[in-house]
Structure 1
């Protein structure tokens, strides 16, 4: 595969896998909250929603695509618990159900009356089928789904900017930035980066059979990561802008309905249909990637034969179905405390692992100290 084609396909794949449910909601919600200081809010989101996930992508590449090796930097206990904890939140107990609720919002806006239960059942069934074909998943997402999705979102952003109303609210600058930082936490993209990077790294490694040089593979994998990060940054910037300018319109709108509401206002109901499809596809691609990774991790951890993967996948998909019935706000309510406690320690471990090759005791000490402090703060609250 030629270098430019590799960058395009895997850059689009990285964008598509990251850009799921929270990414469709939180930038808009952030803009609506911070108003005229929307750019400061975006900068906060950029730090935790773009820079940190990119560092997460990079650190796994340094570990040759082995996320278990990275988590082990925090010690033996962290090496066992962190993959299970992060993948559980990304998989059946957090992001996948959240994808279902946001996708239902897109569908409900187009076809009112379809219950969350029925939609979730259909969505989970489709997710299960696509997960069984994971050998073509990345190429399919990168070559076909992502360009279509990015085009649809780009049209909405451009038209939305052209017809954007004046901003009527404003939040203090420091609060706008801190809100952006917290919204970046909520996307959970740092968590996802550890596992998406492993998936991409191993896929690129498989198409470069002529070399076992880790530096060459890292270099080949780095450009798509940068391309994917740039795409995310551009869409986030546009979404925060739209959230700020259409803040009054989405003031009392459910989170999963914010984007369809703006699309219908800025475009027309017929054109908004395309945005609704883009929302559903965005959530589906992320859900498929995460559900697949989670089920394969459990099979590997429990030392089951590969033939048990469809059974494990059925179990993780079923859990996602039941958690999705809590709806977007319900899922966000129990995810927020877990993220506040776990994110700072993982950020520190990521940065230390990039800049310090050895000194495992130092990394363990910093990780556990920060995590204990965050737990203590949460208990006192």
Structure 2
């Protein structure tokens, strides 16, 4: 009985840590607007969103359970050079987009409604504080994170529960032509698949420190159980916020921003005081996310340069300067700017996750190289389409299945995976 209780406690502790690492406050602004626009097909949009924002990230944790390494291990079977370039690209995107977005969310939710100050000032103060915490590695953030996450979850479940029991289940028609694919693409904006390959390594280190005597298989089971529990929690919150947005379709103007909608939903369900409290909690959670991203990036670059503290400091400074430059823009602009980068890097990340959880006999080095190369090639039209070349590429897209849904890489990558495995089997 004691052993069962101990194992359950380990699973719960690890699941909570995983949930906290995935649960970036910036992600909260995405589901309500998606739901508000999805209308009667909110459930289909929710499935698409959770496929890319929950299922794929949790599979990333399953891959970490198998590899028990770092982000660098995800692409090693392609080649060490590819893996290094991929890792650097992931960190470059992280400090350029999701990190500054936390400052923009903070300004729009906690500063702009109460103070008449410019976003640039918020961004400068915000990332100056981020820099102070990054170079001091304060434990306050860990303590703060453990308190913030439960408080935000409690408020969110109160908002979702109030909306579900207070509003009739009557919905507008959806504004989306392809609700499922729209949900998938909006799920890219959570950066959670990227987060999985980055933060999974942090969980591995934490488990290794806590359970030094545990075997590989014991750690694998712990990570898998914790991952699915964390995923279920994320699914309930994301789906709940989407249906809440859909239920309150007539309460807000069509052009309302993501942050304003989250604040408006909070006010209508729980009152102004709760909205003020939520704004503060979200801002603090955004801050911990930004510190984590900049610290993780600086740590990685430092490691590549023989643990040079000068390199760590330089990377932290550059990360915070990038944060100030990008963080002064509004959230909608940062999300729009992020789309092209995500259209290119997300498919590669997804196939690396799937290949790493596949049985070794189906994921040889040859399979890795062929599938990743195919994914890169067939992601290029989606990437070019996202930067304004959609019309020019319309003829090409007619020959690529699912390309009109910005998922042109899916079937070619699957076909190459099957074909290379068949050829390998015939040669043996």
TM-score, with structure 2 as normaliser: 0.82
Inter-partner Cα distance in structure 1 for 2:159 and 2:74: 39
Measure, in 1, the Cα distance between the counterparts of 2:116 and 2:168: 31
Ranges in structure 2 where 5+ consecutive residues have no aligned partner: 391-428
What SS is found at the alignment partner of 1:187? coil
**Structure-1 separation of matches of 2:187 and 2:66:** 24
The question of whether the paired residues in 1 share the 8 Å contact of 2:109 and 2:283 is answered with yes
- Summarize the alignment of residues 193-208 of structure 1 with structure 2, pairs less than 5 Å apart: 193-208=196-211
Which one of 29, 46, 57 corresponds to residue 61 of structure 2? 57
Supply the distance in 1 between the matched residues of 2:111 and 2:278 (Cα, whole angstroms): 13
Residues 256-278 of structure 1: per-residue CA shift (max 9 Å, x gap): 22211111122211221121123
Task: Map 1:258-273; keep pairs closer than 5 Å.
Answer: 258-273=261-276
User: How far apart, CA to CA, are the structure 2 residues paired with 1:194 and 1:224?
Assistant: 16
Of residues 215, 218, 233 in structure 2, which corresponds to 1:216? 218
Higher relative contact order (CA 8 A, sep 6+): 1
Tell me whether 280-289 or 303-312 shows the greater mean CA deviation: 303-312
Cα deviation 1:315-339 (Å, max 9, x = unaligned) = 3122111111232122222211121
Asked if the contact 2:155/2:278 (under 8 Å) is kept, the reply is yes
Report the Cα offset of residue 286 of structure 1. Answer: 2.1
- Tell me: CA distance 1:79–1:23, structure 2 relative to 1, closer, same or farther (3 Å): same
Question: In the alignment, is residue 321 of structure 1 matched against residue 324 of structure 2?
Answer: yes
Q: Is the 8 A contact 1:102 1:328 kept in 2?
A: yes
Number of the residue aligned with 1:283: 286
Do the aligned partners of 2:145 and 2:285 also contact (CA within 8 Å) in 1?
Answer: no
Whose Rg is larger?
A: 2
CA contact 1:346–1:367 (8 Å) conserved in 2? no
- TM-score (ref. length: structure 1): 0.91
What are the ranges of 5 or more consecutive residues in structure 1 without an aligned counterpart? none
**For residues 372 and 306 of structure 1, what CA distance do their matches in structure 2 show?**
38
1:354 match: 357
Segments ≥4 residues shifted beyond 6 Å? none
Cα deviation digits, residues 280-307 of structure 1 (max 9, x gap): 1332232222222111112122334246
Q: Secondary structure at the match of 1:273?
A: helix
Larger deviation, residues 349-358 vs 25-34: 349-358
Q: 1:364: which partner in 2?
A: 369
| CA distance in 2 between partners of 1:110 and 1:16 (Å) | 27
- Partner of 2:178, secondary structure, is helix
Question: What residue is the counterpart of 1:9 in the other structure?
Answer: 13
Match of 1:373 among 378, 382, 392: 378
**Equivalent pair of 2:53/2:190 in contact (CA under 8 Å):** yes
CA distance in 1, matches of 2:139, 2:220: 22
Conserved in 2, the CA contact under 8 Å of 1:153 and 1:278?
Answer: no
